[in-house]
Structure 1
Amino acid sequence: MSAELVAVLAVILVSMVFDYTNGFHDAANAIATSVSTRALTPRVALGVAAVGNLVGAYFGAGVAKTVGEGLVTLPKDTASLGVVFAGVLGAIAWNLITWYFGLPSSSSHALFGGLVGATVFAAGGVVHWDTIGQKVILPMVLSPVVGAILGFLVMLAVLWIFRKGHPVKLNRGFRVAQTISATAMAVGHGMQDAAKTMGIVVLALYTGGFQESRTHIPGWVFFTSATVLALGTYSGGWRIIRTLGRRVIDLGPAEGFAAETVASSVLYFNALVLKAPISTTHTITSAIMGVGATKRLSAVKWNVAGNIVLAWILTFPAAAAIAVLAYLLVRPIFG
């Protein structure tokens, strides 16, 4: 077995571990509101998330391309695989830290931070800061703002349209509607987050010389990334579900429907139109905050929201710092 093959397999393995931990965070977001409002049972919600991730993955090629070739230029030979390996390790570590505290931080930005941190200290590595600014930092700032504003406006519209409706009948109807919005959210999540793992795997295959194209995504990469993501949701997503479903605001079916509709729309626009890798976490959490603010500002538990925002701010530099340490440790192994 050649050194290149061993290095590529190591990167693919650690990428799947990242994909699994991503399920603790971002995949849980896709079903958190529906489970919390009892629109879907946990078992059904997990099935929706799994199928949605699988379907969405097939529409996320544009995001995968951005991740695979747009953010950094790696060193040559197996040294580049060491950078990717360390970068993904940094993302995994931050995912586990924030999961332990039940904070819905962004797996996406942990991955980007890890790749940047490892690349900065690699000989011959180049960070494309202009692309990161346009495709990562700008969407990172704008998507939560847009999500919060749209969440507020959509919820106001829902309240006005159904202002004369019977509460019991409305709750029943919105629980049914959440079946659709939760499915849309799961598909949008698959477009974004499964695509990020696919981008890393394709990058490893190309760098190791096992495929000629930097943009072609083999079928097994689609299927494996989506499946592992769904398994991660099942295994560890409940901490994040509790935070989003109860600790930020007390969600009802109408609020859950509005938040999911807004978040999935933002995810689709960025994946299909802008081809920009944004955070599912940031998008759904900010939409929930915007929806909750229509009740009254005090309905949002701002101390919890503040902790979430702090985790957002720390994610990129913290994952980058961990990746630097990881790269210094694995550099002698990868050459």
Structure 2
Amino acid sequence: MDAQLIAVIVVIAIALAFDYTNGFHDAANAIATSVSTRALTPRVALVMAAVMNLVGAFFGVKVAKTIGSGIIEVPTGPGALWLVACAVLGAIGWNLITWWFGLPSSSSHALIGGLGGAALAAGVAVQWDTVLSKVVIPMILSPLAGIILGYLVMTAILWAFRRAHPGRVSRGFRWAQTASAAAMAFGHGLQDAAKTAGVIVLTLNITGHHEGDSIPIWVLMLSATFIAMGTYAGGWRIMRTLGRRIIHMTPPQGFAAEMTAASILYVAGMGFGAPISTTHTITSAIMGVGATKRFSAVRWGVAGNIVGAWVLTFPGAGLVAVTLYYISTLFH
């Protein structure tokens, strides 16, 4: 086995490690509301989320193409694989930092920040037009859409069931949350597993083992499997933040937030190939849903801490990637 092939395998392994951390970091996105309302037990919710993450990955080809060929130019030369490795390690580092503090930051934006930071350090061109149209603009619009649509969906539910018995409504929406949590987990797989697939394709293109932006089925299968494994491992710290600390969640609210977020993920991923954050989307949907009760029902201080983590994600992951890249230059 030649040295280049060994290096490719190592970089792919690092990408799959990121995929795994993405799974346990973002498991809360899919199931926190269902667990907090007792619609599902934690273990059943995690099994369901893992399975739907696996299935959703096969519908995220457009997102994978954006990550694999749309964020940075395909690098060349002896340091090219180091660039990808440092970018992904930067994202892993940021995931672990925010996981430790229980902050639901974006694994997606950590990966993109890591790619951008490592590319700038290596003198590789960043495709700013694509970053603006498919990352920055969706990053701004998706939380706004989550808040507005979450508010509207919850308002519609409150109006439709205004004369119904509260106990029966609550029981009914607990059952409905099984479907909405599954839809959210499917959207997470569609978005986040596909991003790792894009990184693997970028690695293969660098070394001539693949050409173009098509996504081989084995790459999707690997990415789907590792994010499903990570999801099953769970992310309990962040689950507490999303499920309990922003608002006190009821089953109708949980259903409204999950269906809102899932819809946005589908439109962005399958319609536009935009790698948006599942974290941004579900968190903003929870805020919009909570605001229908009363504005003060949302714990905006907690929400402010989360927004702070969002703002720091790009530069934070990028800085970790830059540091690692400069360290790596000592070895090649």
Q: Note whether the superposition's TM-score is higher than 0.5.
A: yes
Aligned-pair CA distance for 1:179: 0.9
Aligned-pair CA distance for 1:275: 1.0
> Structure 1: which 5+ residue stretches go unaligned?
none
Deviations 1:46-100 (A, max 9, x none): 1211111111111100000000000101431342111111011110011000000
Amino acid at match of 1:173: G
Aligned-pair CA distance for 1:235: 2.4
CA distance in 1, matches of 2:74, 2:269: 24
SS where residue 121 of structure 1 aligns?
A: helix
SS where residue 76 of structure 1 aligns?
A: coil
Q: CA contact under 8 A between 1:27 and 1:229: conserved in structure 2? A: no
Residue matched to 1:21: 21
> What is the correspondence of 1:128-143 to structure 2 with a 5 Å cutoff?
128-143=127-142
Aligned-pair CA distance for 1:27: 3.0
Amino acid at match of 1:72: I
Structure 1 stretch displaced more, 265-274 or 37-46: 37-46
Aligned-pair CA distance for 1:218: 2.5
TM-score of the superposed pair, with normalisation by structure 1: 0.96
Amino acid at match of 2:316: A
Aligned-pair CA distance for 1:236: 4.0
Deviations 1:232-255 (A, max 9, x none): 223241111111000011111000
CA distance in 2, matches of 1:100, 1:51: 25
Deviations 1:201-235 (A, max 9, x none): 11111211222x33232232222212211222232
SS where residue 284 of structure 1 aligns?
A: helix
SS where residue 278 of structure 1 aligns?
A: coil
Residue matched to 1:284: 282
**Are 1:205 and 2:204 an aligned pair?**
yes
CA distance in 2, matches of 1:100, 1:48: 24
**Are 1:315 and 2:313 an aligned pair?**
yes
Residue matched to 1:99: 99
Distance 1:141 1:326, change over 3 A: same
Q: CA contact under 8 A between 2:108 and 2:195: conserved in structure 1? A: yes
Residue matched to 1:193: 192
CA distance in 2, matches of 1:221, 1:75: 20
Deviations 1:249-283 (A, max 9, x none): 11110000000000000000001111110000000
For residue 261 of structure 1, the aligned residue among 252, 259, 276 is 259
> What is the correspondence of 1:173-252 to structure 2 with a 5 Å cutoff?
173-211=172-210, 213-252=211-250
Structure 1 stretch displaced more, 147-156 or 72-81: 72-81
CA distance in 2, matches of 1:331, 1:59: 37
Q: CA contact under 8 A between 1:63 and 1:192: conserved in structure 2? A: yes
Query: 4+ runs of 1 displaced by more than 6 Å?
Result: none
Q: CA contact under 8 A between 1:140 and 1:278: conserved in structure 2? A: yes
CA distance in 2, matches of 1:30, 1:46: 9
Structure 1 stretch displaced more, 269-278 or 27-36: 27-36
For residue 304 of structure 1, the aligned residue among 298, 302, 306 is 302
Q: CA contact under 8 A between 1:74 and 1:83: conserved in structure 2? A: no
Amino acid at match of 1:177: A
Residue matched to 1:55: 55
Aligned-pair CA distance for 1:109: 0.4
CA RMSD, Structure 1 to Structure 2 (Å)? 1.2
Amino acid at match of 2:293: K
CA distance in 1, matches of 2:28, 2:223: 16
SS where residue 302 of structure 2 aligns?
A: helix
Residue matched to 1:293: 291
**Are 1:2 and 2:2 an aligned pair?**
yes
CA distance in 1, matches of 2:51, 2:75: 37
Structure 1 stretch displaced more, 220-229 or 163-172: 220-229
**Are 1:66 and 2:66 an aligned pair?**
yes
Q: CA contact under 8 A between 1:7 and 1:78: conserved in structure 2? A: no
Aligned-pair CA distance for 1:288: 0.2
Amino acid at match of 1:136: V
